[in-house]
Structure 1
């Protein structure tokens, strides 16, 4: 049974950091209190990234392109800056004994996205189109993450752990503020109607558009974590 914080390492990627064993006190896998304490202590240090390993900061996060293609709506966000992942907390961490699956819940008090947009289609019941600057400010968000893991041999003969893929279930828990400037080429009455609907029906709108936004964000975090995992043999984060 692994007794080192490999399990912390796996869980921490959703908290927007990467793990250095020197930053994490070792815990027994059955000691949930120790695991939670260790993750929280490390996340604030690790979120800054590790430049020497090519690991970028996760807060702020820059995403060049986010593309959503839904049956009734197409939208693209360009040059988006995301702020707020550093305040997310992890809970319900579960790792399979054979290191093939990871489950956890990420609870975020607020996320802010800002950049450029291009949108066309229907926002549930209203037509919408425009190009310009945008800003989204969420309230509380719950993100359930289920991942597949793999262990592969390194060139040095030592095993490495990696996050293979993941699935998300995102749930908005409080109001979201939508601000899309220059909708309908600046026609204020049409723009006001869309914003009123979106801000009053934030839950329905979020459920429509959220997945194409969250997947590249979490994907970028996972990419950074895998860079770290590739640099550290599996045997270095388990107790004998």
Structure 2
């Protein structure tokens, strides 16, 4: 809990100082901040939600992306070395916020009844098949969606963290604790694989921040749409 607050403050500080002294010719920090903001604004906001409605959701999406990114990359920082969202409770809290946002947006635009109809009744589907389709669509779009959103992030962060521990500690035991000289080359290989997986994890941690924010944008776009 302390870690998520700390890295939320760091994410805020990064965005604040990157935008505090805006100049026509940006410095390094402003350049990185503008690149990150533009990436989320254009590829996750405008392109997914649409040019008519996206702007008011940009602060939410940018905050979500950098909160996730900074907390995921905590796994690569010495003395932390723990991805915050490998704790399931924190991920489900974030998914709950997402659930409230996109459902709130849909209900505000269409009304409760209209929103549920759009989410549960695909256009063009009529007749008795609706008795099967409506409960399935309700379960999929309203109930299960935040669970799958959270599980995707949690499982990737948790599994990657365990994999790094396995190769790091396994290599240490094979080299220094096993007492078998023949295990030393295997231990060195485990450390080489640890290094390779470490850099792969940096990419995965970025991708998970991207995917979580992307799905938020897609759910908001779906809530605003006039057809299922």
What TM-score do you get using the length of structure 1 for normalisation? 0.27
Bigger strand share: 1
Name which one, 1 or 2, has greater alpha-carbon Rg: 2
What TM-score do you get using the length of structure 2 for normalisation? 0.28
